[in-house]
């Protein structure tokens, strides 16, 4: 449930939402089945209606982009949940889980910014790190493991501003939050974030 929520909070329309998920061979089928079951059971609808769990896509342009992306994905991967829109007026898309998709698919390469999650298989952790780093973006990563200590050296290899272990998107006022690569410049939060609002002045004189 935590992994699902990391991907589908605000219907995936969060800058630091989990955009792609790498799962080891030994757990791949079970994780895909669990995510698909969660997706099928989520209630999509207007936010003012009681029981709604996921709302709409924010605007028409993004909605059409996601519909096109899902149509492409149907030819490139296996849509195991969602992939369609509920019969509601507005920009609604059912939460979509995609398995067996290649790393070069547009859904994997681009920031979908919506309720569509590709789940990718790996067998070697070093390979998974290389593939996770093979992106122009680097805002945040998360590692999910029964052995958090083993995750620490893996976290050091991931090229992103934040790496969470057994959680995702936990942004706190006392901890710096920044991106890497094309995920933005500057820092928010903590002392480093406050320094972004200061102006350095150097006075250099000769005796």
pLDDT, tens only, 8-34: 999 999 999 999 999 999 999 999 999
Both 110 and 160 in one domain: the answer is no
Q: Which domain holds residue 162?
A: 134-207
DSSP state of 64: H
Does residue 71 sit within a domain?
Answer: yes
> Which residues of the chain, if any, have pLDDT below 70?
none
Does residue 129 sit within a domain?
Answer: no
Both 146 and 104 in one domain: the answer is no
pLDDT value at residue 157 = 98
For CA atoms 25, 29, 32, 35, give the dihedral sign.
negative
Does residue 26 sit within a domain?
Answer: yes
Both 18 and 98 in one domain: the answer is yes
pLDDT value at residue 14 = 95
DSSP state of 187: E
pLDDT value at residue 25 = 97
Final residue belonging to a domain, choices 71, 101, 123: 123
pLDDT value at residue 107 = 97
Q: Kindly report the pTM of this predicted structure.
A: 0.93
pLDDT value at residue 33 = 98
pLDDT value at residue 98 = 98
Mean pLDDT of the chain: 96
pLDDT value at residue 89 = 95
Q: Which CATH number do you get for residue 78?
A: 3.40.309.10
Both 112 and 176 in one domain: the answer is no
Does residue 142 sit within a domain?
Answer: yes
* Number of structural domains in the chain: 2
CA proximity to 46, closest of 96, 16, 11, 97: 11
pLDDT value at residue 163 = 98
Final residue belonging to a domain, choices 123, 148, 167: 123
């Amino acid at each position: 449930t935590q992994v699902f929520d990391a991907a589908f909070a605000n219907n995936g329309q969060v800058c630091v939402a989990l955009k792609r998920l790498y799962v080891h061979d030994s757990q791949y089928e079970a994780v895909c089945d669990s995510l698909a079951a969660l997706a099928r059971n989520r209630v999509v609808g207007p936010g003012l209606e009681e029981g709604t769990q996921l709302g709409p896509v924010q605007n028409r342009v993004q909605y059409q982009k996601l519909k096109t992306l899902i149509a492409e994905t149907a030819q490139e991967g296996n849509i195991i949940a969602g992939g369609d829109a509920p019969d509601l007026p507005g920009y609604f898309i059912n939460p979509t889980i995609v398995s067996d998709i290649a790393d070069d698919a547009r859904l994997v390469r681009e920031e979908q910014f919506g309720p569509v999650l590709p789940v990718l298989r790996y067998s070697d952790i070093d390979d998974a790190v290389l593939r996770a780093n093979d992106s122009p973006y680097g805002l945040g990563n998360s590692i999910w493991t029964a052995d958090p200590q083993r995750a620490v050296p893996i976290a050091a290899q991931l090229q992103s501003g934040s790496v969470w272990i057994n959680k995702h998107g936990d942004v706190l006022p006392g901890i710096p939050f920044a991106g890497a690569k094309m995920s933005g410049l500057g820092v928010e939060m903590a002392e480093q974030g406050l320094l972004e609002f200061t102006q350095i002045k150097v006075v250099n004189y000769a005796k």
